Structure 1
Amino acid sequence: MPDSDSHPDLPKKSGPAGGWGSMRGINAVRATSHPDPAALETLRRQNKPGGFMCSSCAWPKPANYHPFEFCENGAKATLWESTRDRCRPEFWNDHTVEDLKSWTDHELEMTGRLTHPLRFDHDTGRYVAVSWEEAFQGIGAALADLPRDDVVFYSSGHAGLEASYLWALMARLYGNNNLPQSSNMCHETTSVGLKKVIGSSVGTVLWEDLEKTDCYFFFGQNPGTNSPRFLHPLKEAKDRGAKIVTFNPVKEQGLVSFVDPQNPIDMATGRETVISDQYHQLKGGTDIAAILGMCKAVVEADDAAIAAGKPAVIDWAFLEEHATGYREFIEQARAADWGAITGECGLTEGALRDAAQVYMEAERVIGVYGMGLTQHAHGSDNIGMLVNFLLLRGNIGREGAGCCPVRGHSNVQGQRTVGIAEKTKLVPFDKLRALFDFEPPEKDGTHIVDAAQGLLEGRIRATLCLGGNLLRALPERDRLEGAWAGQDVTVMISTKLNRTHLFPGKTAYILPCLSRSEKDEQATGNQYISVEDSFSMIHGSQGKQKPASDYLKSEMAIVAGLGQAITPEHPKRPWRAWTRDYALVRDLIEQTYPDDFRDFNGRLNTPGGFWRGNAAHRRVWNTESGRAEFTRPGKLNALSFDPEEGRFTLLTMRSNDQFNTTIYGYSDRFRGIEGTRDVLLMNESDMARQGLSHGDRVALVGDSGDGVERRLGGLEVIRFNLPEGTVGSYYPECNVLVPLDLHDGLSKTPGSKAVPVRIEKTPA
């Protein structure tokens, strides 16, 4: 548990990513989670053909796998779900939901795996066990008379393609397209922004490109914590002489140095691989300025080369054949003021020119990014600028080059592929009409930000969640908790207790499901499910562990049970048959999306997965113009305010002991933060200007200017290596400070990586 005392010795010195530190991190979670011994066999099979696909990140699963094809975070996720601890119905004899509101996220999950379907009893303030039949009938009756537009069907990125396909079908049969998904809060900027400029809503690279690239440019992505298996191809790239240039406000250890746990010599000697050749700590929210600076350096180098009669630096032939808007953007870069660029991002002109020089000397470049680029008020401009940068030298759609967004959840990308989408234009309704004999609703559904606003206004009356801890993950936590509990119906499909369960609606159910590592025995045997990774590869996954309870159902079976309860009966919608054999659902997916899922069942367990294709990888641009489109940013800073004295940009972060809203423990060893999450990381110069000392207690106060009071107190100031004007603290605790209307204009992704705040010192 966290220590309530001050921590004057923080941050502690951190070692390299990987190595024995990873082993100790895994062992710490193993010691506290009390996993079933079978979890060790699960880890051996993890991310291998015919095995179990990790429920953590969406990093690819290579055909030529390592003996241990899992990372620290993946091992923690598996051990955490494999716990022998159980949250049985008797738990509620001693606890009410009101009692549990004072518990931390970590304490709630430490109660163990949920074992029975539960209904909330408002008279006692407790959940009580019910049968599955009672649960399905109760939910069906509660939803029957609600206006269809008032009901939301949310999904996290965990469920497989089969359950996700039926979830989307169920929502449309019920009568709406209200299908927001966890990508709304993280990578929707990619789905919308990337689609606009290159015609692809996902990244363009394949595994083979990683093996052939000369250079990586990283923006706002932290492989050491969020996708540690990425560190292996990065090490291999460095071993063959490739360059890595990183832009991030935080010095993330995974992009500094790495000890390969798969290499006995490295483990025995502690030999480190230095990852980043250049590491640029720009101010939070200023990626547009930094990338424009590099583009300006490329344009100036090209102008000089042409004037001297030398070969061009820019790939003009590529631009003339494949791009539009490039001349206007190049002129904007040429005219941009170096003083404005450097003043905004906090990097020197020389640093940006050095980075651009690496880019110009590399034949093949991959641009990698994460939520540090997407979760901004102008995140789409960030994506557009990165694409501009790559396009200048033809680094999209050829071997060893491309755009590489790294997704943070195991199937968040795949769920979109099979129809979980609030926008009707993304769904082949003609196929659905023919397959299921109904008229799909034509009205666009609700994005999660709009759904949250609807909750605050009382318009949303029911929310069904396929996984996740939505109330904890959303902005405006304090305001939304009361609104959530005011709904007519709340339904949560979950493996463990979480904070969203503590705000039940008038009719409320928790439906416990199998984890991905557990056997899913149906009438035709132990079932496979399928997932899509960040590289658009489809993989089969089969669990082998004994289920945590005989009363658990799979996500597929739960979705089918709900579908039967809330949609009209029809011979073309055999929910029970689909549950008996998941291959039947894969046949439906293939019929709905034949180009992506040709011979789905036949290719399900292809080593390394099978590729569903990507037009932009082949330089086919499915944009409005039919070409790759350059964009012109309207500003240099992703925030919508001008910095002023006493105002800071808050960067929300995840710790090394965390996956999304799941908190495994209180060790963020890469940042040297131990025993607490209640910290504010701050530059020493900023501390001095604010009259603060290391160890002082402060509160963060939202400063968006909308008149709503937002406050997070009890934070300890920690002296930390951050750019001036940028402060850091942890997600999801800081969600209380994020306004709903602080989001990207194109995708509505919340701007959680650049939140305007002020700091108030707490009286001693």
Structure 2
Amino acid sequence: MAHQPQRKAVHKPYSGPAGGWGSVKALASILTQQEVAILGSEILWKQNKPGGFMCVSCSWAKPADPHMFEFCENGAKATAWEITPKKTDPAFFASHTVSELRTWSDHALEDNGRLTHPMRYDAALDKYVQVSWDEAYAAIGAELKALDPNSVVFYTSGRASLEASYMYQLFGRMYGTNNFPDSSNMCHESTSVALPEVIGVPVGTVLLEDYDKADCIFFFGQNTTTNSPRMLHPLQGAAKRGVPIVVFNPIRERGLERFTNPQNPVEMVASGSTRIATEYHQVTPGGDIAAITGICKALIEQDDAARRSGRPRVIDAAFVAEHTHGFEDFAAFCRDQPWGDLEAVSGLPETEMRAAADTYAKAKAVIANYGMGMTQHVHGVEACKMVVNLLLLRGNIGRPGAGISPVRGHSNVQGQRTVGIAEKTKLVPLDRLKELYGFEPPREDGLSTVDACEGILAGEVRGFVGLGGNFLRAVPDHSRMEPAWARMRLSVQIATKLNRSHLFPGAVTYLLPCNGRIEIDRQATGPQAVSMEDSTTCIHGSRGQRDPISEHVRSEPAIVAGIAKATLAPNPKIDWDAWVGDYGLVRDAIERTWPDQFKDFNKRLFQPGGFPRPLGARERVWNTPTGKANFTVPDSLLNRTAPEPDVYQLVTLRADGQFNTTVYSLDDRFRGVYGGRDVVLMNAADMARLGLAEGDMVRLSTVAPDGIARELGGLQAIPFGIPEGAIAGYYPECNVLIPLGHYAKGSKVPAAKSVPVRIARDAIPLAAE
């Protein structure tokens, strides 16, 4: 296909609901774009169904009793994207240099189709050339053996199965490193740091069935519309039962406002929709800690008044006394906060925070959901703890219909941590691995994503192996990271499609094509199943349904085993070939490593709805240093750096037509942006103050203490419903503006939801349509 330059965007505000005919049209469009015949799209009937395949997109829970169509618009896009007949084959690489391909957009690169053959970068030709699998394995193994293990990074994207992830982490540790950053480091690591300290588990406590039992649901910084659209089914059910749904988010996201269920003929024919949010509070970016403090302050004031008058308590005093620690310090902190300060920092009036508190106080079972709008801030760890504080006040953890629900992103990103993809050694049973496999695992902590980037910039990281993903595009500081990548000795990318990370080769670079999850994985004992964990800690089996795109692609477990055998000395306790031949043996190994979490793993693989991993906090067993759930006092009310004059807070967003770094189309229907992504969404009053009209070109420059210039120009200014002082732009294009050192304290998650920038006019326009 010919590369299409990015066009100037058209702004046409969208007034429709989420779902509805807009989703139907988008589905038809993606099937046509990817050359998937409508009559051949029966594959969608098997998506997220028992015995079928688990969606390769988001990690939202799968019901035991699925809907007729148990997929959403974005899930259908992900499926069409994977089963496309389009191919990026050796003939394509022979026709295009890597330098030329760097000029292609992210959308054009992946839209070209599936990778079909193993390739090696030839610097003299500036092209990828075909190699055999045996040649690739041997060369990669030789390079790894020549490198210091601590100078090599083993990255994992959110899509790799539990089986591939377990094999990958075992191979890396036998090789001699704990350098296992993954996509969690860029999104919910703030959750993984915060929750163990306050409730003793690193994940959410809510199961899908709890949404049918809740009588109040809160949202903080989570865009259900694009990140987990199937979540709209239980939300619509709750809304129709009259359950209050209270939303705190800087932008009014359509899926949290109105939803038309495409599976409901009455709604579709009548163009009806269901109102989702009963309260929608447009908090300023980074104002969520202050907003939650305001709700807690109002509740504590109500409780103080109730105690003085002898009325029933507002706080669940019995729960607080028996199950929590630190309440008095937290209550004193809340009482001491002036309402004026809370209003100024949150961007909300006192009345709105009190209204949310009143709604919360009337409910008996409350679920609190949050997303990266909470975690990707400088004080993201503290923000996650504040959500726990709110729930603990009324005993809303460890009861039916209640709990904390961090809505994770990619399909198996949570599960990979469960089976050992972690740079922190305390999260991995190293002694058990030593016992099972007869080797001495490294004991020092490895590199997180930010650490790995710093190591690449410093020249200390010499090798990178990527099990999926688009690492170089997903991380901050593109203008520094891209040239640094070429200074590495080894780059190995296991992938289904070409992406920008593949276009900045190291001295030795291999591109290894793998099966997609939807493809039939035929091995020595027959077609194999894989497994993954959803956001609610439930484990699901998945079976491929389509023939592979090429006879030359291999499964992720087979590729991991091939590299391991070429790198490591033989170990009598591991038969890599047997594991590749029968993934059930890998699941047996996972069960032996974590017998409490994976009891009867193979027997329960296709249990409808998945089987939940046991969590102490669900039973009100608190595995914390105090033995109780812990109230905590935040370090700051402001979940970002302090504001400066003429400095705006940039929020990076995913569009309706994308998932993570994968851009399915250049449209963002719900925000009314069509045909381009080089835009900045601004409050109309801010535009007027800067003398900007709609469509004017602007340039953003980062305000950072390191003095390094970071700029992004050619952006169209578009008026949008965002709080004053805040602007929004698309990820990953805006990552060039995020300093590597701008991250959440304690978790090192890039603070992509509040990047301080200045705005100036730009004389360089976008290409005309």
Over 3 Å counting, the alpha-carbon distance change for 1:39 and 1:496 in structure 2 is: farther
1:729 matched residue in structure 2: 729
What is the CA distance between 1:39 and its match in structure 2? 5.5
Moved more, 754-763 or 582-591: 754-763
Task: Give 1:755's aligned amino acid.
Answer: V
Change in Cα spacing, 1:36 to 1:82, as seen in structure 2 (3 Å) is farther
Following superposition of structure 1 onto structure 2, how do residues 60-459 of structure 1 map, counting pairs within 5 Å?
Answer: 60-459=61-460
Aligned residue in 2 for 1:498: 499
Q: What amino acid is the match of 2:250?
A: P
8 Å CA contact 1:537–1:609 kept in 2: the answer is: yes
Count of residue pairs brought into register by the alignment:
762
- Aligned pairs (5 A) from 1:364-763: 364-641=365-642, 643-763=643-763
| Distance of 2:153 and 2:251 partners within structure 1 | 36
Deviation at 1:292, TM superposition (A): 0.4
Q: TM-score, normalised by structure 2?
A: 0.98
Contact 2:8–2:676 (8 Å) recurs in 1? no
Q: For residue 645 of structure 1, report the CA deviation from its aligned partner.
A: 2.4
Contact 2:5 2:105 in 1 (8 A): no
User: What is the aligned partner in structure 1 of residue 767 from structure 2?
Assistant: none
Rounded Cα–Cα distance in structure 2 between residues aligned with 1:2 and 1:357: 53
SS in 2 for 1:603: coil
Structure 1 residue 309: Cα displacement: 1.3
1:14 CA drift (Å):
3.3
Distance of 2:5 and 2:19 partners within structure 1: 26
Residues 479-516 of structure 1 deviation map (CA, whole Å, 9 limit, x = unaligned): 00011111100000000000011011111000000000
* 1:667 counterpart letter in structure 2: D
Mapping of residues 19-98 of structure 1, within 5 Å: 19-35=20-36, 40-98=41-99
Between the aligned partners of 1:458 and 1:87, the Cα distance in structure 2 is 32
Q: What is the SS of the residue equivalent to 1:419?
A: coil
Q: Secondary structure at the match of 2:442?
A: coil
Contact 1:36 1:83 in 2 (8 A): no
SS at match of 2:465: strand
Deviations 1:440-466 (A, max 9, x none): 111111111000000000000000000
Matched residue SS, 1:667 = coil
Q: What CA distance in whole angstroms lies between the structure 1 residues aligned with 2:595 and 2:210?
A: 26
Aligned-residue offset at 1:93: 1.9
Q: CA deviation at 1:88?
A: 0.8
Structure 2's unaligned 5+ residue stretches are 765-769
Paired AA for residue 57 in structure 1: C
Q: Which amino acid aligns with 1:697?
A: M
Distance 1:140 1:617 in 2: 44
Q: How far 1:4 moved relative to its partner?
A: 6.1
Aligned with 2:617: secondary structure?
A: helix
Residue 388 of structure 2 aligns with an amino acid whose one-letter code is V
CA deviation map 1:577-630 (0-9, x unaligned): 110000000000000000000011011110111111111111111111111111
Write the distance in 2 (CA, Å) between the matches of 1:763 and 1:130: 46
Contact 1:14 1:669 in 2 (8 A): no
C-alpha contact 2:31 2:38 (8 A) present in aligned 1 = no
Q: 1:441 to 1:123 in 2, by over 3 A?
A: same
Quickly say closer, same or farther: Cα 1:530–1:36, change in 2 above 3 A. farther
Contact kept? 2:8, 2:675, Cα under 8 Å: no
**CA deviations over 1:276-322 (Å, ceiling 9, x no partner):** 00000011111011110111110111111111211010111111111
SS in 2 for 1:464: strand
TM-score by length of structure 1 reads 0.98
User: Helix, strand or coil: the match of 1:504?
Assistant: coil
Structure 1 position 26, deviation (Å): 1.3
Measure, in 2, the Cα distance between the counterparts of 1:314 and 1:266: 41
Residues 210-260 of structure 1: CA distance to partner in whole angstroms, max 9, x if unpaired?
Answer: 110001110011111111110010010011111100000000000000001
Letter in 1 for 2:682: M
SS at match of 1:387: helix
One-letter amino acid matched to 2:402: A
- Between stretches 401-410 and 303-312, larger displacement belongs to 303-312
Deviation at 1:5, TM superposition (A): 6.4
Q: What is the distance in 1 between the residues matched to 2:555 and 2:561?
A: 10
1:680 and 1:718 in contact (8 A); partners too: yes
Secondary structure of the corresponding residue to residue 133 of structure 1: helix
**Structure 1 Cα separation of the partners of residues 183 and 574 of structure 2:** 27
RMSD between superposed Cα atoms in Å: 1.2
Q: Percent identity?
A: 54
The Cα of 1:3 is off from its aligned counterpart by 8.2
Distance 1:526 1:42 in 2: 17
Quick check: 1:283–1:345 contact (8 Å CA) kept in 2? Answer: yes
- Partner of 1:165, secondary structure, is helix
Q: Distance in 2 between the 1:11 and 1:745 partners?
A: 39
Given that 2:7 and 2:676 are in contact with CA atoms closer than 8 Å, whether structure 1 keeps it comes out as no
- Where 1:701 maps in the other structure, the secondary structure is strand
Give the match's secondary structure for 1:670.
helix
SS at match of 1:463: strand
8 Å CA contact 2:4–2:104 kept in 1: the answer is no
